[in-house]
Structure 1
Amino acid sequence: MSLMSPNILLLSIHHKYARMIFGGDKQVEFRRVRPRYLNEGDLILVYATSPEQALVGVLEVEKVVEMPPKKLWEIVKDKAGISYECFQKYYENSQTGFAIFFKKPFSFDSPIKLEQLREEWSDFRPPQCYHYLKDKEINLVQSIAKCDILSRSEKLKVYQTELLPQS
């Protein structure tokens, strides 16, 4: 594991699927495009789409899998939270599918609504695809959520342990 803190990806997820994720019924998120720097131990900050329009929680990435959709379905079908028909429709005409497996979904005590986000984060826009957070944005979200988001990552715990002086 490299000596670095986790990347934090802001991801828009359909409100229905965001609810399923934090309810434990969906353990994988599907994408047609792989987020470039997303690896094990990185974090996903979940923005639930309309009508919710809010940051709802954080996920830790377990792994990202890339393969043809037909093969992908075989390994995700029990964790997908969607039907094979929905899966097929989503990946229609796609040669490659990406599945982001995650662990330890953590929902905020109360969702951070879009209005509040825009009050405190003036240039906030829900991402069309995804957006990597900068340190300043991470600190802002932690302050608004009253939650140490970074502590949700095993990668950071390993990073902090490796930095501690050895006795």
Structure 2
Amino acid sequence: MISPIINRDTVLISVHQKYAEKIINGEKTIELRKSLPQKVKPGDNLIIYVTSPVKKLYAICTIKQFIKSTPDRLKADELSNTGITSKEFDQYYKSSSKAYAIVLENIIDIKHKNIELKTLKTLVPKFLPPQTYYYFNDSVVGFINLKKILFH
């Protein structure tokens, strides 16, 4: 049961399966982004959704902190926690002057709950896998039902 974080705001991100697996096994504790989420704060929840062909929820965790930096500084400080190579990092931030990261903690594997895209769309009718962020709170239709599955 994940009850200590049940009443917090929640953001969902889409990632490729290989990165979701690295998050679950602890090899990746920092999620790189080109922008930060606006409606959540450290201590709130982050749900990991795996993109096609898997299309299902993989993990839920707590946002420990946000990092705002430059690509060079972020790479120097945090590359070992990103689960990617130096070349992949450089490619991701190519032509960017700013770099952002979400530090993750309390990572819980929820693959076994088998919450697939079809189920998400049934529970949360307007849900679409996001390019950046999808925000949940209790006013989002269906989120209370999704929380019942996630947290029990």
State the identity as a percent: 28
Query: Secondary structure of 1:72's match?
Result: helix
Residue 64 (structure 1) aligned to one of 58, 63, 66: 66
| One-letter code aligned to 2:113 | S
The offset of 1:9, in angstroms, is: 0.5
CA distance in 2, matches of 1:20, 1:111: 19
Query: Secondary structure of 1:129's match?
Result: coil
2:78 is aligned to: 76
1:10 is aligned to: 12
Query: Secondary structure of 1:70's match?
Result: helix
The offset of 1:132, in angstroms, is: 1.1
CA distance in 1, matches of 2:9, 2:118: 25
Deviations, residues 134-160 of structure 1 (Å, cap 9, x unaligned)? 204431212233x25xxxxxxxxxxxx
Which segment is superposed worse, 116-125 or 7-16? 116-125
2:3 is aligned to: none
Asked whether 1:115 is paired with 2:118, we answer: yes
1:38–1:64 contact (8 Å) kept in structure 2: no
| One-letter code aligned to 1:130 | Y
Task: Please show how residues 95-110 of structure 1 align to structure 2 within 5 Å.
Answer: 95-108=97-110, 109-110=112-113
The offset of 1:114, in angstroms, is: 1.0
The offset of 1:64, in angstroms, is: 0.4
The offset of 1:102, in angstroms, is: 0.8
CA distance in 2, matches of 1:90, 1:56: 23
The offset of 1:81, in angstroms, is: 0.7
Q: How many residues align?
A: 143
| One-letter code aligned to 1:75 | D
1:139 is aligned to: 144
Alpha-carbon RMSD across the aligned residues, in angstroms, is 1.6
Q: Which runs of 5+ in 1 are unaligned?
A: 149-167
Query: Under a length normalisation based on structure 1, what TM-score does the superposition of the two structures give?
Result: 0.79
CA distance in 1, matches of 2:105, 2:77: 16
Deviations, residues 70-123 of structure 1 (Å, cap 9, x unaligned)? 000112122111001000100001110001101011111323111222233322
Residue 23 (structure 1) aligned to one of 15, 22, 25: 25
Query: Secondary structure of 2:62's match?
Result: strand
CA distance in 2, matches of 1:125, 1:46: 14
The offset of 1:128, in angstroms, is: 1.6
Runs of 4+ in 1 over 3 A off after TM superposition: none
CA distance in 1, matches of 2:63, 2:24: 14
